A = this chain, B = another copy of it.
Amino acid sequence: MLTISQLARYAGVTVRAVRHYHQIGLLPEPERNDSGYRTYNAAAVARLIRIRTLADAGVPLARVQELLDASTEQFAEGIQEIDKELRAEVRRLQDTRKRLARLATGDHLALPQSVVAYLDRLRALGVGEWYIEQERDAWIMVAAQVPDQIEVVMAKKHEDLNDPDMVRLYGLISGMLDCTVDDPRVVEFADILERLLIRAVEAGEVGNDGFEEPFVDLLDATVVEASPVAERILAILAERGWKGWTRIERVQKISPG
C-alpha cells in the first residue's frame, strides 16, 4: 500500500496534483487507513500515469475522463479534435508574434508609420510636445475608427504641409496654447485658417470623410476642451459662416446677435 507521496513519485507528479485530480473526480478517492491517510494500490499508479500521459499531451483535464474510457474510434476522434485546437492556438500565437514584430519596427503603438512621420514633421516645424500628443491621440482614434482610409487621409495631410499658410499656422500654435483669448495672434490664426478653408472649398476638398457623426463630435469636443483659445477660434470662424472643426463646412453667414 502506498501513501500519496509514494503514489505521486511513481507517477512523476506532485502530491498537490493528485489531490486536485481527486477533487475534480478524475482519480477516485481511495480507502483511508485508521489515521485518515489515503492508501493507494498499483491500479491507482497506472491510472494516474495514464491521466498524466493524456494531460502532458495537451488534453484538458475535463476531457481526460471521457478519453480514458472511450472506444478506439472515439479516442482517435477526440485526439484529432484536440490537435485541431492546438493547431489553432499555435496559429494564434504566431499571429501575435507578427503583430509584436510590427510594434517593434514600424508602427509605434497603434499608429501607422505615415502618422508617425507626420508628427515628426510637425515637431520639425516647432510645434510643442503637448500639442503633438493631442494630435497623436486624435490620430490613434482615427486610425482605429477607419483603418482602411488612414493612408489616404495621411497622404492628403502630408501634401497640406507643403502649403506655406499651413506651415505658418503650425508655427503659431505652440505660442497660442496658453495665451489669452484676446491675443491678436488668435485673429491672425483665424485669418490664415480661413484662407486655407476657402482654398479647400474651391478645390472641392470638403465633405464626406467616412466618419460617423458622434465620432466627429467627440473629436470636436476634444479640441474645445483642450484650450479656451481653441474655443475662441471656433467662435470666430462660426461668426464668419463656418461650422465644425474636424469636419468643417461652409454655412449661411449668420447676422451677428
Contacts and interface: CB of A to CB of B under 8 A. Distances in A.
A58 B96 contact: yes
Nearest to A215: B10
A152 interface: no
Given A45-B141, A46-B140, A96-B56, A104 B86 contact: no
Interface residues of A, number: 56
A237 interface: no
Nearest to A94: B90
Contacts of A90: 90, 93-94, 97
A86 B89 CA distance: 12
Contacts of A47: 137
A110 interface: yes
Contacts of A79: 100, 103-104
A117 B10 CA distance: 24
A222 interface: yes
Q: Is the interface of A mostly helix, strand, loop or mixed?
A: helix
A22 interface: no
Contact of A86 (B93, B102, B110): B93
A225 interface: yes
A82 B101 CA distance: 10
A96 B137 contact: no
A201 interface: no
A66 interface: no
Given A46-B137, A93-B89, A144-B12, A53 B110 contact: yes
A6 B221 CA distance: 15
Nearest to A140: B46
A69 to B, nearest CB: 11
Contacts of A179: none
Contact of A144 (B1, B2, B10, B86): B10
A59 B100 CA distance: 8
B144 A11 contact: yes
A49 B215 CA distance: 15
A58 B76 CA distance: 32
A41 interface: yes
Given A42-B138, A57-B96, A68-B109, 10 more contacts: A12-B144, A41-B221, A45-B218, A49-B141, A58-B99, A86-B97, A86-B100, A90-B90, A90-B93, A90-B97
